[in-house]
A and B are shown apart, each in its own frame.
Chain A
């Protein structure tokens, strides 16, 4: 019998059974898979859909998909995609209204879709989901419906990339909660298996249909060792404890001009960020004028339209927009939601076409203060 908070062993050659068990419960499974020379998130059903034997090398403005020398299933960091795009949809119709005689009628646009199972979520992204929960759960019925039904199978990181800094943000590398199941991959010469942590009753029910064994103390130690390895490989750091005050003290720091010279204001950082939640609403009409739709789509504080208020733009300079993004992410977010908006996943660093590094920007401000004092 398995119960929440217990740990069991799943052999690699039985991994398919966990996908089958999830599917049998009616879930649409979304997991990592290789497409277009990158690891993305998409529908998966077979173990072979996973990035077996692949890894990714990441740096500032740089991502390369590479072959591993072994057949690790989760031996990669992760691409630009995250569960964000399936919970907070890039585009969503909010409502539709049809003219009827002299009045009009609202058409229900909420579709009852299959519940989602996220397979292979990393600790940083689990934290990102709970951060977005704070934003959307109280106000967004579409998000809430998707989120409440979602099943989460986490993967404990056994490696970290050059742009990872979850350890600095206190969001990883080991996931300690907010999952139904969590897998730690153990790949040895003679044996390839997973330590499965059961997080919830729902997770336990899935494991009832999956052949597993009891975990020995040595297995748990190996899982701990995987986390220690990831921790030792953490590519970047950010001193996060006082970053809020640091940024509040430095609204006029010359570093903002420096970064503005490099920033493309292309919005890539905000769109790959698993916590950024900005959107815009649009009302569209058809040719006859008898039908109208309100649509929501991802937007970004780097877009001028986003900060347009009647009569003008409140953040017309790239400097103001970069400062707004970073200060919100690391500082005002804390006042707004009680946590940092950054989970240290490093996506904004990797996927910035010119490699702007949020940890380096913070460090530059911090070090100049040390040099010049903060008054």
Chain B
């Protein structure tokens, strides 16, 4: 029998939620175990099989000098490196530090700031090493994780769409809440994958999956503003799980400028 492909799961700065999605694949878990050798997965077992690995799933962002070094080792040991979740693909919620003074935080939060060795930014894995596939979401969708694994195991392209969440609302027949109820929604600029859960429950999309393939943040911001949202509110929704993803970060920066201009005009 042919050797089973070796699967490794790596954690960087993250909450573990995305890698646990693999364990959430309850019905398929045994079949996954049949298809691959789980060689490194701390949430499952202390037993570690030595590399190299056929597929590495990398969760989390790079926030420390140590991790900035460690990711290169993971890359060297991995034939295929797939990043999973908003932290690994966009820096995660911890990338809010990118817009602030980290030294100041440390001096306020920690009794002995000199023990803390951290970077000024939280960055995506792809900012450090070449990545074969980025799976988005906060957290990722387990069906999508399974699909990506299947695709790499069978040597085909993963069926992961990069279009808007609006597509998912329409495919399931959900009425657009932005049009019908004036609920502010990030769906039109957000990457699909969740199945459009929030709009189904009359909540606007929070943008957990980050920017879609061609987001027009400025036009959607204008729509929010004309629906009565304050610029600060729009900045806040853009600065969540995918704050450092470029289109969201640029959109928030543009709004902040607009806010400053408005204040100056007011004064």
Which B residues touch A286, using CB under 8 A? 150
A35 to B172, alpha carbons, bound, how many Å?
Answer: 14
Q: Which of A266, A285, A351 sits near B156, CB closer than 8 Å?
A: A285
A112 to B35, alpha carbons, bound, how many Å?
Answer: 36
A176 at the interface (CB under 8 A from B): no
Task: Convert A83-118 into 0s and 1s, putting 1 for each residue whose CB lies closer than 8 angstroms to a CB of B.
Answer: 001000011000000000000000000000000000
A10 to B239, alpha carbons, bound, how many Å?
Answer: 59
B167 touches A64 (CB 8 A): no
B164 at the interface (CB under 8 A from A): yes
A318 touches B216 (CB 8 A): yes
> B128: shortest Cβ distance to chain A, in Å?
26
Residue of B nearest to A42 (CB): B173
Q: Which of A65, A285, A353 sits near B154, CB closer than 8 Å?
A: A285
Number of interface residues of B (CB under 8 A): 44
Q: Which of B163, B174, B216 sits near A263, CB closer than 8 Å?
A: B216
> B36: shortest Cβ distance to chain A, in Å?
10
Task: Convert B168-184 into 0s and 1s, putting 1 for each residue whose CB lies closer than 8 angstroms to a CB of A.
Answer: 00111111111111000
A40 to B174, alpha carbons, bound, how many Å?
Answer: 9
A282 touches B179 (CB 8 A): no
A267 to B162, alpha carbons, bound, how many Å?
Answer: 12
B162 touches A353 (CB 8 A): no
A318 touches B173 (CB 8 A): no
Which B residues touch A272, using CB under 8 A? 170
Residue of B nearest to A271 (CB): B170
B219 touches A264 (CB 8 A): yes
A252 at the interface (CB under 8 A from B): no
A17 at the interface (CB under 8 A from B): no
A350 touches B179 (CB 8 A): yes
Which B residues touch A31, using CB under 8 A? none
A79 touches B216 (CB 8 A): no
Q: Which of A36, A61, A91, A352 sits near B171, CB closer than 8 Å?
A: A91
Residue of A nearest to B178 (CB): A353
Q: Which of A38, A61, A265 sits near B223, CB closer than 8 Å?
A: A61
Task: Convert B71-106 into 0s and 1s, putting 1 for each residue whose CB lies closer than 8 angstroms to a CB of A.
Answer: 000000000000000000000000000000000000
> A211: shortest Cβ distance to chain B, in Å?
35
Residue of A nearest to B218 (CB): A261
Which A residues touch B188, using CB under 8 A? 264, 266, 268, 353
> B143: shortest Cβ distance to chain A, in Å?
11
Task: Indicate the member of A262, A271, A354 with the most B CB atoms within 10 Å.
Answer: A354
A288 to B33, alpha carbons, bound, how many Å?
Answer: 11
Which B residues touch A303, using CB under 8 A? 161, 163, 167, 213
Task: Convert A248-264 into 0s and 1s, putting 1 for each residue whose CB lies closer than 8 angstroms to a CB of B.
Answer: 00000000000001111
With A37-B181, A303-B213, A353-B178 as known contacts, state yes or no: A265 contacts B167, CB within 8 Å. Answer: no
> A207: shortest Cβ distance to chain B, in Å?
31
B170 touches A298 (CB 8 A): yes
Which A residues touch B218, using CB under 8 A? 261
A338 at the interface (CB under 8 A from B): no
With A91-B171, A268-B170 as known contacts, state yes or no: A285 contacts B150, CB within 8 Å. Answer: yes
For residues 42 through 83 of chain A, which have their beta carbon under 8 Å from a beta carbon of chain B? 61-65, 79-81
B167 touches A264 (CB 8 A): no
For residues 1 through 46 of chain A, which have their beta carbon under 8 Å from a beta carbon of chain B? 35-38, 40
A359 at the interface (CB under 8 A from B): no
B175 touches A37 (CB 8 A): yes
> B178: shortest Cβ distance to chain A, in Å?
5
For residues 193 through 219 of chain B, which have their beta carbon under 8 Å from a beta carbon of chain A? 202, 213-216, 218-219
For residues 211 through 231 of chain B, which have their beta carbon under 8 Å from a beta carbon of chain A? 213-216, 218-220, 222-223
A271 touches B181 (CB 8 A): no
A354 touches B154 (CB 8 A): no
**Sampled A-B contacts (22; CB under 8 Å):** A36-B180, A61-B179, A63-B176, A65-B180, A91-B171, A261-B218, A262-B219, A264-B164, A265-B164, A265-B216, A266-B188, A271-B171, A284-B150, A287-B35, A287-B146, A298-B167, A302-B163, A303-B213, A353-B176, A353-B185, A353-B188, A354-B223
B: which residues have CB within 8 A of A?
28, 31-32, 34-35, 146-147, 150, 153-154, 156, 159, 161-164, 166-167, 170-181, 185, 187-189, 202, 213-216, 218-220, 222-223
* Sample of 4 more A-B contacts, CB < 8 Å, known A61-B179, A352-B179, A353-B188: A263-B219, A287-B35, A289-B153, A305-B161
